[in-house]
């Protein structure tokens, strides 16, 4: 797996991540969603540098200009519900892409720390020989991405896979390296070192879905 960790360098991206983490700033749900969206836009731009391009002629009112334009057939897939703002950021840049959505949630039985990932719904076009961008803002244990990818393969095998996340754990990143094809790219704003006993990232930022869209039963 090719890892692109933008937490290793200084950029404006760090400001957006800091606001996501800040327990006071994150009380503004609209700003929380917008910061995730902006991070999606930045990672989309960086990701775009690795895509396939072809020279095409563009006709202007005054002449013709040869330009290098990306030609990938792309599918953006987000894990509901926390992935929606990140999906929008990617879609702002890859506006001609097809879209897919998949639901996945943790099921803790009897209040125990152990959990399983439940996938009950997905809607996706064919992925066969296309470029798949799979987005989930929190890459904690990595098991959600593993399970969603297993389901998505029923719709075909992509020629290239890009995973886009905001915050990950070192453990989760190591886990998915063995679950995805070797040429998969991971684009992530920053990586934290630890998980707690229930599999949440420390220091992380909390529950991204609840902070973006409100609490749930």
- pLDDT on residue 198: 85
- pLDDT on residue 204: 96
Nearest residue to 172 (alpha-carbon basis) of 122, 206, 207, 137: 137
- Decide: residue 189, CB within 10 A, 0-12 exposed, 13-18 middle, 19+ buried: buried
- Residue pLDDT, tens place only, 179-206: 999 999 999 999 999 999 888 899 999 9
> Is the pLDDT at 105 greater than 80, yes or no?
no
- Residue pLDDT, tens place only, 112-129: 667 677 778 889 999 999
Q: Give the pairing type, strands 74-80 and 131-135.
A: parallel
Q: What is the topology classification, in CATH, of domain 2-51+72-213?
A: Rossmann fold (3.40.50)
Taking the C-alpha atoms of residue 45 and residue 3, their distance in angstroms, rounded to an integer, is: 16
> Is the pLDDT at 173 greater than 80, yes or no?
yes
- pTM, entire model: 0.92
Percent of the chain whose pLDDT exceeds 90: 84
Please report the DSSP string for 75-99 in residue order: EEEEEETTTHHHHHHHHHHSTT-EE
Q: How many CB atoms lie within 10 A of CB 60?
A: 7
The average pLDDT across 56-66 equals 98
């Amino acid at each position: 797996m090719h890892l692109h960790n933008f937490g290793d360098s200084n950029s404006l991206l760090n400001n957006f991540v800091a606001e996501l983490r800040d327990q006071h700033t994150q009380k503004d749900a609209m700003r929380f969603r917008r910061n995730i969206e902006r991070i999606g836009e930045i990672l989309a731009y960086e990701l775009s540098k690795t895509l396939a391009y072809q020279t095409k002629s563009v006709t202007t009112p005054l002449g013709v200009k040869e330009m290098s334009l990306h030609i990938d057939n792309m599918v953006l897939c987000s894990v509901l519900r926390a992935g929606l703002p990140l999906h929008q950021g990617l879609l702002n840049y890859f506006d001609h892409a097809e879209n897919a959505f998949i639901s996945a949630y943790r099921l803790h039985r009897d209040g125990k720390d152990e959990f399983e990932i439940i996938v009950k719904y997905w809607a996706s076009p064919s992925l066969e020989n296309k470029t798949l961008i799979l987005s989930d803002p929190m890459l904690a244990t990595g098991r959600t991405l593993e399970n969603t990818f297993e389901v998505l393969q029923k719709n075909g095998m992509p020629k290239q896979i890009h995973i886009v996340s905001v915050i990950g754990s070192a453990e989760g990143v190591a886990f998915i390296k063995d679950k995805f094809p070797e040429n998969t790219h991971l684009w992530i704003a920053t990586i934290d070192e630890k998980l707690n006993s229930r599999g949440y990232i420390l220091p992380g930022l909390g529950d991204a879905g609840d902070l973006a869209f409100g609490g749930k039963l």
